[in-house]
Amino acid sequence: MNCAENAAIVFEQRRPFLLGLAYRILGSRAEAEDAVQELFIKWLEADRASIATSAAWLTTACTRHCIDVLRSAHTSRVDYIGTWLPEPIHTTHQDSPEHRLELASSLSTAFMLLLERLTPKERAAYLLHEIFDMDYPQVADAVGVQEAACRKLVSRAKANLGNGHARYQPEPVRQTQLLRAFHGAIASGSTVSLSAMLSEDVELCADSGGKALAIRETLSGIARVLDFIGQSLHTYWQTCEWLPIEINGAQGVVIRADGVITASMTFGFDEAGQVSRIFIMRNPDKLAGLEAALNVH
């Protein structure tokens, strides 16, 4: 086996971790895949004989590249048409239930959206320390700051993120009940069963990127949200194909019309298991990954 082949094997073993890290930092599967592919080329061209630990080198290179990409992305998101939401991804887990729950909670749309409050370095430092369990010296090296500054980054991130309710995920049976109630409301226009599963201050928002028909404002309050579901979504989606799949580590659904995915939907929950956020993705560019995943399966 030559050096290039060995280097490729080392990288492929680390690729799932790097993709997971890049996606959480960037909020975009497409951008994460591009970042990791650029890193692969950089890895093959590197003086690997001088690299003490391949995993640490790859993590650092990935983190710093993603920080640079995120700085540019923040500028473009200011000019984004309508609500910006992270790109939905189809997830499957083979881990233990405990590990799966932890990973899922850090992938939820609600949590990924909450991360947008952070600066790029805060976001990277927080994720490496709190989600990927790296110690402060390792995180400091990866982010490119002194350890004291790294601790401050993580501390500020925790303060900005608040109490962590956005990471709460109810048991799968509760999520299944929600999808059934939601599907019933879409099909019939009656929201009676669904209403009991929504919090009083529930919010609904949609991301179209200006490329599809969708509401631009966030709907707040159970009355407005139920009215929109029972009338507008009932009108538009009642004849569409309803496909429950795992999205961002939790049960979600894709809406398909004439064989093409036109929307996806994910949820945020409060600690009582009530739905507090409803996220609808309508941007066809961000739905492309789900389309590809379903075609594979």
Same domain for 259 and 190, yes or no, is yes
Examine the pLDDT at 126 and tell me if it is beyond 90. yes
Same domain for 275 and 148, yes or no, is no
Same domain for 133 and 262, yes or no, is no
Same domain for 150 and 288, yes or no, is no
Examine the pLDDT at 99 and tell me if it is beyond 70. no
Q: Answer for the pair 262, 240: CB distance below 8 angstroms, yes or no.
A: yes
Q: Answer for the pair 187, 236: CB distance below 8 angstroms, yes or no.
A: no
Length of the chain in residues, anyone? 297
244 backbone dihedrals φ, ψ, rounded to 5°: -70, 130
Task: Say how many domains are in the chain.
Answer: 2
Residue 66 included in any domain: yes
Q: Answer for the pair 231, 215: CB distance below 8 angstroms, yes or no.
A: no
Per-residue pLDDT tens digits for 255-281: 999 999 999 999 999 888 899 999 999
pLDDT > 90: percent of the chain:
73
Same domain for 192 and 69, yes or no, is no
Per-residue pLDDT tens digits for 101-112: 455 668 889 999
Same domain for 226 and 120, yes or no, is no
Q: Residue 82: left if φ>0, alpha if ψ -120 to 50, beta else—which one?
A: left
Domain that holds residue 274: 172-296
Residue 197 included in any domain: yes
Q: Answer for the pair 252, 240: CB distance below 8 angstroms, yes or no.
A: no
Q: Which of 126-135, 139-148, 285-294 has the lowest mean pLDDT?
A: 285-294
Examine the pLDDT at 186 and tell me if it is beyond 80. yes
Same domain for 72 and 153, yes or no, is yes
pLDDT of residue 249: 87
Per-residue confidence band for 92, with pLDDT thresholds at 50, 70 and 90:
confident
Q: Answer for the pair 261, 276: CB distance below 8 angstroms, yes or no.
A: no
Same domain for 131 and 243, yes or no, is no
Residue 103 included in any domain: no
Give the closest residue to 55 by CA, choosing from 138, 123, 118, 126: 138
pLDDT of residue 293: 79
Residue 131 included in any domain: yes
Instruction: For residue 256, count other CB atoms closer than 10 A to its CB.
Output: 18
Q: At what angle do helices 284-296 and 29-45 cross, to 10 degrees?
A: 70
CA distance 226 to 221: 9
- Helices (H) then strands (E): counts for the chain: 13, 6
Examine the pLDDT at 85 and tell me if it is beyond 70. yes
pTM of the model: 0.89
3-state secondary structure of 183: helix
pLDDT of residue 244: 94
Same domain for 118 and 222, yes or no, is no
Domain of 277: which CATH number?
A: 3.10.450.50
Going from the C-alpha of 287 to that of each of 95, 239, 262, 292, the distances in angstroms are 26, 20, 8, 9
Q: Answer for the pair 162, 191: CB distance below 8 angstroms, yes or no.
A: no
Q: Answer for the pair 68, 61: CB distance below 8 angstroms, yes or no.
A: no
Give the tokens for residue 83.
């609500």
Domain of 131: which CATH number?
A: 1.20.140.160
Examine the pLDDT at 97 and tell me if it is beyond 50. no
pLDDT of residue 95: 47
Q: Across the chain, what does the average pLDDT equal?
A: 90
pLDDT of residue 49: 85
Same domain for 134 and 57, yes or no, is yes
